[in-house]
Amino acid sequence: MEREPVGVDGAARARAWGVGLVVFSSVCFGASGSFGKALIEAGLAPMQAVWLRIAVAALVLVPIVVLLRGASAARGLRPHLGRLVAYGLTGIAGCQACYFVAAARLPVGVAILLEFSGPVIVLGWLRFVRRAPLHRSAVAGVAVAMAGLALVVQVWAGLDLDPLGLLAGFGAAACQACYFLFIDSFAGEVDPLVVTTSGMVIAAAALTVFAAPWSLPWDLLATTVPAGDHHAPAWTLLAGLALISTVASYLAGVAGLQRLSPQVGGAICYTEAVAAALIAWAVLGERLTPAQMAGGAVVLAGAYIAQRAAGDRPPPPPPETGGARPRRIRPPLRAQPSAPPA
């Protein structure tokens, strides 16, 4: 029996690792709404919860980068500094701030489903900005996803779900689209650990003025707070939010998405919506109406249809961990498959 070429086998392994890492990341992300909402309802402002989440993650990650990568990691960031700043401001600070505002004013499941119209925005960016041709299944998926979102937000009820929460949810979607596109641009160029740490430091600094940590009720972290029908020390909720739903989720997500295209990664990340809804039901007792559940299913179906148009990508070369090296030449993002559908 002929042996499969090493390159093909390596690409398959990279894709499998990418899928596994992104699914793990999505489940970790899915818990963030429940952790954060419990802290917000206990007395933290949404922006303070976001800042605490990101700042604690940055404090954990910076020593790890220094220990594992050394000072050379900082020197190697110079060619990518502009994109890293934009990534931190949109993909982390903007996405998390908008999401937490939405989660504080809407059920967690609704907030996460609104945020996850981000992959639809990615397809729109490819078609209308990058001028990349879209496969018919991508266009059909967008239409189906939009119909599902109409059910989720209950458009027939006159925006009954709180307009500011809806606006924040769609803002999170736009920032999430930036997250996918920036991570794709770093593939093979910057170490995932360095990308994640840099983004956290930039996001924490940017949100400091809005979070006003000097007025934060620090004594709250020493108390026991309700989380639905349960009670837990507030500091454990913060630890879960920072370590599970931020450090672990972002590290796994960046590493996984760099092995996939943004379209494929966006589709797999929809598992976060399922995880978030299940965790919110178990922890907070939140339930969606039948129409909203149907809308969520339609959104997921639309995303699946759209992402069938994504092509495979080769495994990225080893990322730089030290000095800068020439930027690799990358093909333009494609929304069509590498071969015609059967």
Per the CB < 8 A criterion, the answer to whether 260 and 19 are in contact is yes
What is the rounded distance in angstroms from the CA atom of residue 159 to the CA atom of residue 27? 29
Contacts with 192 (C-beta within 8 Å, 6 or more apart), sequence order: 251, 254, 255, 258, 319
What is the rounded distance in angstroms from the CA atom of residue 208 to the CA atom of residue 267? 32
Selection from 306, 294, 3, 291 nearest residue 143 by Cα: 306
Selection from 279, 237, 228 nearest residue 27 by Cα: 279
pLDDT at 322 exceeding the cut of 70: no
Q: For residue range 4-45, list pLDDT tens digits in order.
A: 444 556 677 877 788 789 889 988 988 988 898 899 899 999
Mutual angle of helices 290-307 and 271-284, in 10-degree steps: 160
Selection from 209, 188, 171, 194 nearest residue 84 by Cα: 194
What token pair was written down for 338? 């590498």
Q: What percent of the chain has pLDDT over 70?
A: 78
Banded pLDDT at 318 (limits 50, 70, 90): low
pLDDT at 326 exceeding the cut of 50: no
Would the CA dihedral through 131, 187, 249, 83 be positive or negative? negative
More confident site: 122 or 327 = 122
First to last CA, the chain: 27
Banded pLDDT at 310 (limits 50, 70, 90): very low
pLDDT at 239 exceeding the cut of 80: yes
Per the CB < 8 A criterion, the answer to whether 247 and 197 are in contact is no
What is the rounded distance in angstroms from the CA atom of residue 139 to the CA atom of residue 306? 7
The structural domains of the chain, with segments of one domain joined by +, span 16-307
pLDDT of residue 325: 40
Q: For residue range 271-292, list pLDDT tens digits in order.
A: 777 777 778 877 888 777 788 7
- What is the 3 state secondary structure string of 297-339? HHHHHHHHHHHCCCCCCCCCCCCECCCCCCCCCCCCCCECCCC
CA 68 to the chain's CA centroid: 25
Predicted TM-score of the model (pTM) = 0.77
More confident site: 329 or 318 = 318
- The identity of residue 210, as a single letter, is F
Q: For residue range 105-156, list pLDDT tens digits in order.
A: 887 667 777 887 888 888 788 778 877 766 676 667 667 777 776 777 665 6
Per DSSP, helices labelled H in 129-239 are 136-152, 163-186, 192-211, 234-239
Residue 135 exposure: Cα atoms within 13 Å on the Cβ side:
19
pLDDT of residue 122: 82
Per the CB < 8 A criterion, the answer to whether 165 and 111 are in contact is yes
